[in-house]
């Protein structure tokens, strides 16, 4: 597990598996940067055999952001970074991370998994890149990009928190309606849970829902990547 240069001035956290399965996964950060939660997620994927890379997508704004959701000051900073973040550039950076895993590390297939802001970016990874499979957890503002849904040509799994304070039910319904005709897309809704239900230690962490979602993600990647 080590920092690594990806492209331009962007770096990231790379978790290497002891028993590689030949595939890689790009882990797409929340609004808190490449923090311990994201590094732990990469380590978990490495234990499953994947070469897991967390790119520092805020590098153009402030390299090395590593904060938590535990204080008002950190939330203020995280929201400011999100508001200034260039989504199009972010997807380009994810594409660079995918390319690095393929070309420099020999990954035969590469997937992506993202959370919150990263959930939206995982959706856009499915519409704008050649990732082999993508997973988004409680992605924000996806309905604004449903016009790109026709571009999805590889499997996509979206985990939706039914009581998401950042993704209200009309937005959830719009996602379901806009994606229902694509057989490559699977939506899983989790009743009674709020945004970030899979973030360990978070205010809305729900162990049962997180375990179920993570098991579905693991099976999804086994089927489409490993």
Beta bridge mates, 114: 28, 136
Give the tokens for residue 54. 């967390």
Rounded CA gap, 138 and 140, in Å? 6
Q: Given 56, 69, 195, 224, which residue is catalytic?
A: 195
CB 6 within 8 A of CB 206: no
Task: Tell me the three state secondary structure of residue 122.
Answer: helix
> Apex CA 29: angle with CA 225 and CA 100, to 5°?
50
Told to judge if 195 belongs to the known catalytic residues of this protein, a careful annotator would answer: yes
- The H-or-E segment that residue 96 falls in is helix 87-103
CA torsion through residues 173, 148, 224, 117, sign: negative
Whole-number Å distance between alpha carbons of 148 and 206: 31
Nearest to 6 by CA among 81, 95, 84: 95
* Cβ contacts of 108 within 8 Å, gap of 6 or more: 22, 23
132, 164, 204, 224: which one is catalytic?
A: 164
Q: Which residues are catalytic?
A: 164, 195
């Amino acid at each position: 597990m080590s920092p690594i240069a990806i492209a331009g001035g962007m770096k990231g956290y790379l978790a290497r598996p002891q028993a590689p399965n030949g595939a890689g996964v790009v882990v797409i950060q929340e609004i808190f940067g490449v923090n311990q939660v994201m590094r732990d997620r990469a380590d978990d994927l490495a234990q499953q055999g994947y070469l897991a890379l967390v790119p520092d997508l805020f590098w153009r704004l402030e390299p090395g952001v590593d904060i938590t959701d535990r204080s008002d000051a950190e939330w203020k900073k995280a929201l400011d970074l999100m508001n200034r973040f260039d989504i199009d550039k972010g997807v380009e950076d994810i594409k660079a991370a995918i390319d690095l895993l393929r070309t420099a590390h020999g990954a035969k297939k590469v997937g992506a998994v993202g959370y919150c802001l990263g959930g939206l970016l995982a959706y856009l990874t499915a519409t704008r890149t050649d990732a082999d499979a993508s997973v988004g957890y409680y992605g924000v503002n996806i309905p604004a990009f449903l016009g790109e849904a026709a571009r999805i040509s590889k499997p996509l799994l979206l985990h939706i928190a039914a009581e998401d304070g950042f993704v209200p039910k009309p937005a959830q319904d719009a996602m379901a309606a806009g994606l229902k005709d694509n057989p490559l897309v699977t939506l899983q809704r989790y009743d009674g849970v709020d945004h970030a239900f899979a973030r360990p230690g978070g205010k809305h962490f729900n162990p049962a829902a997180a375990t179920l979602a993570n098991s579905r993600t693991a099976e999804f990647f086994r089927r489409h990547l490993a």
